[in-house]
């Protein structure tokens, strides 16, 4: 999108205008308390003063290698202390960093770096074997985090005055998971991330100079990185956890130093699978809030979280990399509003539209569109995809939702996951929410498979609780008590675990491929 300015006019900024960049917020916090710990990772700590010095060295270093404003670098890394200083340091130059998932194959990583036209790539030492430099088309320098990265910084001056950077310029480029096609680079502007950090402080109650944030979600994802940065944007401390280990996370929370954390549903599956003695020994916390995002929590899991960590803490947010945080179900509503994603997040406006573009009423399903200061500015190098994502300035990612009489929103399903059977629209999420309440079921996923007579048939992929089982007949009877007969799956198949991307989202394309190859076994 672009805002046309008449040719005879000049964009004049008022004297009090200050550009909002991610770095500017952190630099303000550093001026307030330069010796305070900004980042912690195991035994390593970066004070605010040291972090700003690292930003300066990274900015000067990439400038010395010829990277210019408007160009891109990339980072292929697991969680580490250097991740944040690289992303923010490069952005201080007016350049952006692509952040592919380090678990991708060498070809997939090269495809993303080539698509982003990255000239410099920073690589975690554990990822060196995962890349093939011969596949890179635009990369001129590969810098391995560790001794080589330290030497790169040492050569660069720690004195740097950030240039004027338009707040709508791109700060980072996370790539979508690519579950329905090739990954797309989501251009996130400085303003959207900066405004997001301020909104988080207003909404969640865990972002202030007095807060200590535990960051164990992958930093390569938009939410994982932004939630981690938000703490230092407002003057708090972020502890980066290199690898998620359920027991270690509980011990950290039980220590009393942690006031906030960001989680995805798979984290809770691991936590609540721990031995009861471990869970009971680590119940103490001084958390001010917990954020859950990326995939929906089942109502059973919500109840477990509230019972274990305490009431008044859990925020379940709905959003996307493109739209940012769109809604939030606040702590007081977690057990009152079942399978709900809450109300519009701070600064958001939402509308639900039918296929003719008309807004639907309460109880009716429509495609969700939102508008806010937190949105992306487009897909890198993909003008048509960008145009398709926006509708008159509002952004949608294909989620179908409805609103109740109180104005609370419910995601019915992804538009692309909707199944049409016998001419009837069926929403898998509705069926999954019922099936997941069966006492023997840990989680489930509903997919549609081609059928000559009906167009598509509903198939239930079921993961059972450890040591539990139920037959297809028992599962069907359970669903029949709560669902209309036309919504019942035609087959229930047992699977050891649901395939997910690193952000916790179920890969239904993979499930459909698994079923088509004959890997499904009926629940006996």
Please report the DSSP string for 123-191 in residue order. Answer: E-GGGGGG--GGG-SS--EEEETTHHHHHHHHTS-S---PPP--TTSEEEE-B---TTSS--BEEEEHH
| pTM of the full structure | 0.82
197-416 and 418-522 in the same fold = no
pLDDT at 430: 83
Q: Within a 10 A sphere around the Cβ of 499, how many other Cβ atoms? A: 17
Helix axes 147-154, 48-64, angle to 10 degrees: 80
pLDDT at 278: 96
pLDDT at 225: 95
> Helix (H, G, I), strand (E, B), or coil: what is residue 499?
coil
| Ranges of each domain in the chain | 47-165, 197-416, 418-522
> Helix (H, G, I), strand (E, B), or coil: what is residue 289?
strand
pLDDT at 16: 83
Are 395 and 213 contacting, i.e. CB atoms less than 8 angstroms apart?
A: no
**What is the number of H-type helices and E-type strands within the chain?**
15, 28
Are 119 and 147 contacting, i.e. CB atoms less than 8 angstroms apart?
A: no
pLDDT at 180: 46
Q: Is the sign of the CA dihedral 151, 155, 159, 160 positive or negative?
A: negative
Q: Within a 10 A sphere around the Cβ of 383, how many other Cβ atoms? A: 9
CATH topology of domain 47-165: Rossmann fold (3.40.50)
Burial 338-362 (b: 16+ CB within 10 A, else e): ebbbbbbbbbbebbbbeeeeeebee
pLDDT at 422: 63
Return d(Cα 174, Cα 166) in angstroms, integer: 20
Which residue from 508, 509, 501, 507 is spatially nearest to 174, judged by alpha carbons? Answer: 501
Return d(Cα 27, Cα 48) in angstroms, integer: 8
Q: Which residues pair with 121 in a beta bridge?
A: 74, 142
Burial 400-431 (b: 16+ CB within 10 A, else e): bbbbeeeebbbbbbbeebbbebeeeebbbbbb
pLDDT tens for residues 35-61? 999 999 999 999 999 999 999 999 999
Q: Which CATH architecture has domain 197-416?
A: 3-Layer(aba) Sandwich (3.40)
pLDDT at 7: 58
Which CATH superfamily is 418-522 part of? ANL, C-terminal domain (3.30.300.30)
The pLDDT tens digits along the chain (524 residues) read 445 555 556 677 788 888 889 999 999 999 999 999 999 999 999 999 999 999 999 999 999 999 999 999 999 999 999 999 999 999 999 999 999 989 888 988 999 999 999 999 999 999 999 999 999 999 999 999 999 999 999 999 999 988 888 899 999 999 986 544 578 999 999 999 999 999 999 999 999 999 999 999 999 988 999 999 999 999 999 999 999 999 999 999 999 999 999 998 888 988 999 999 999 999 999 999 999 987 778 788 899 999 999 999 999 999 988 999 999 999 999 999 988 999 999 999 999 998 888 999 999 999 999 999 999 999 999 999 999 889 899 999 888 899 999 999 998 877 677 787 765 678 788 899 899 999 999 999 999 888 766 778 899 999 999 889 999 999 999 998 888 788 899 999 999 999 987 667 788 878 988 988 887 778 87
pLDDT tens for residues 327-376? 999 999 999 998 899 999 999 999 999 888 899 999 999 999 999 999 99
Which residue from 55, 122, 286, 398 is spatially nearest to 46, judged by alpha carbons? Answer: 55
Between the alpha carbon of residue 388 and those of residues 350, 385, 396, the distances in Å are: 18, 5, 9
Burial 256-291 (b: 16+ CB within 10 A, else e): eebbbbbbbbbbbbebeeeeeeebeebeebebbbbb
Are 328 and 377 contacting, i.e. CB atoms less than 8 angstroms apart?
A: no
Strands (DSSP E) contained in 204-329 are 212-215, 237-240, 260-263, 289-292, 314-320, 324-329
> Helix (H, G, I), strand (E, B), or coil: what is residue 455?
strand
DSSP 331: G
Q: Is the sign of the CA dihedral 203, 363, 293, 478 positive or negative?
A: positive
Which residue from 166, 165, 143 is spatially nearest to 85, judged by alpha carbons? Answer: 143
Backbone conformation region of residue 304, classed left if phi is above 0, alpha if psi is from -120 to 50, else beta: alpha
3-state DSSP helix/strand/coil % of the chain, to nearest 5: 30, 25, 45
With vertex at residue 44, the alpha carbon angle to CA 77 and CA 93, rounded to the nearest 5 degrees, is: 55
pLDDT at 507: 85
pLDDT at 307: 96
């Amino acid at each position: 999108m672009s805002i046309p300015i008449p040719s005879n006019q000049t964009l004049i900024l008022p004297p009090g205008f200050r550009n909002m960049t991610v770095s500017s917020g952190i630099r303000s916090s550093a001026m307030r308390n330069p010796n305070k710990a900004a980042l912690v990772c195991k035994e390593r700590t970066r004070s605010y003063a040291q972090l700003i010095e690292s930003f300066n060295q990274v900015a000067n270093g990439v400038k010395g290698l010829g990277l210019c404003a408007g160009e891109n670098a990339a980072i292929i890394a697991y969680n580490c202390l250097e991740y944040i200083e690289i992303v923010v340091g490069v952005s201080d130059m007016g350049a952006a960093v692509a952040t592919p998932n380090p678990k991708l194959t060498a070809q997939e990583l090269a495809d993303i770096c080539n698509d982003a036209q990255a000239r410099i790539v920073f690589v975690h030492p554990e990822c060196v074997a995962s890349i093939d430099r011969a596949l890179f088309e635009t990369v001129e320098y590969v810098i391995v985090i560790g001794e080589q990265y330290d030497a790169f910084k040492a050569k660069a001056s720690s004195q740097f005055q950030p240039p004027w950077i338009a707040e709508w310029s791109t700060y980072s480029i996370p790539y979508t998971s690519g579950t329905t096609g090739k990954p797309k680079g989501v251009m996130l502007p400085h303003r959207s991330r900066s405004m997001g950090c301020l909104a988080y402080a207003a909404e969640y109650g865990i972002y202030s100079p007095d807060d200590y944030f535990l960051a164990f979600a992958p930093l390569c994802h938009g939410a994982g990185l932004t939630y981690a940065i938000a703490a230092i944007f407002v003057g708090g401390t972020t502890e980066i956890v290199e690898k998620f280990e359920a027991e270690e996370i509980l011990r950290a929370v039980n220590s009393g130093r942690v006031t906030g954390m960001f989680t995805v549903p798979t984290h809770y599956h691991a936590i609540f699978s721990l031995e009861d003695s471990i869970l009971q020994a680590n119940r103490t916390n001084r958390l001010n809030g917990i954020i859950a995002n990326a995939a929906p929590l089942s109502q059973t899991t919500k109840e477990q979280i509230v019972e274990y960590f305490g009431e008044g803490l859990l925020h379940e947010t709905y959003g996307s990399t493109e739209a940012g945080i769109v809604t939030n179900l606040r702590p007081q509503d977690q057990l009152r509003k079942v399978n709900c994603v809450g109300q519009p997040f701070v600064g958001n406006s939402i509308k639900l539209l039918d296929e003719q573009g008309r807004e639907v009423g309460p109880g009716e399903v429509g495609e969700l569109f939102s508008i806010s200061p937190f949105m992306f500015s487009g897909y890198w190098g993909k003008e048509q995809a960008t145009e398709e994502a926006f509708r008159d300035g509002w952004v949608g990612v294909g989620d179908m939702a409805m609103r109740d009489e109180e104005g609370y929103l419910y995601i019915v399903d992804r538009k692309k996951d909707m199944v049409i059977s016998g001419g009837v629209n069926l929403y898998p999420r509705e069926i999954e929410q019922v099936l997941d309440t069966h006492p023997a079921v840990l989680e489930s996923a509903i997919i549609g498979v081609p059928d000559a007579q009906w167009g598509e048939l509903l198939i239930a992929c079921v993961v059972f609780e450890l040591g539990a089982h139920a037959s297809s007949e028992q599962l069907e009877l359970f669903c029949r008590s709560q669902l209309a007969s036309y919504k019942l799956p035609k087959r229930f198949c047992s699977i050891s675990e649901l395939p997910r991307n690193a952000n916790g989202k179920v890969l239904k394309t993979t499930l459909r491929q698994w079923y088509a190859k004959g890997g499904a076994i009926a629940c006996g």
